[in-house]
Amino acid sequence: MGYLYIPTPTDTPLYRMRTTLDGVTYVLRFDYTATEDRWYLSIYDAEETPLRRGIKMVPGVDLLHDARHVAGVPQGGLMLFSPQGDTPGLSEMGRSSFLLYLPAVEFDSLPD
């Protein structure tokens, strides 16, 4: 399987980036909430129309599992990988936790 590594911010509580997933350009917005010590992800299309906002970034969970029915949302698997299984705080994102994307063609071939 070929996961795509998506670079994530470190020590930046609000960050936007463009990335291409399955040949489509998306804008990813990362928001850190200090009161919860947690990161949230929002996904926009190339014109910055929101597709899904406020996805709680939980390690080891398919972050798109309840969003694939939304038109335009990437159809692959998006996962926050944390080797220790810890939810990353502000300084851990991009250092000890990483965002990975499994392309749709490979995601669709996974057993149920």
Q: What is the pLDDT of residues 38-70, one digit of tens each?
A: 999 999 999 999 999 999 999 999 999 999 889
Locate the domains of the chain by residue range: 4-108
Taking residues 3-19, report their average pLDDT.
89
Q: Which of 33, 75, 35, 31 is nearest to 51 (CA)?
A: 75
CB 52 within 8 A of CB 66: no
Q: What is the pTM of this model?
A: 0.90
More confident residue, 53 or 112: 53
Q: Which residues contact 59 (CB under 8 A, 6 or more apart)?
A: 79, 80, 81, 82, 85, 86, 87, 88, 97
Taking residues 9-38, report their average pLDDT.
93
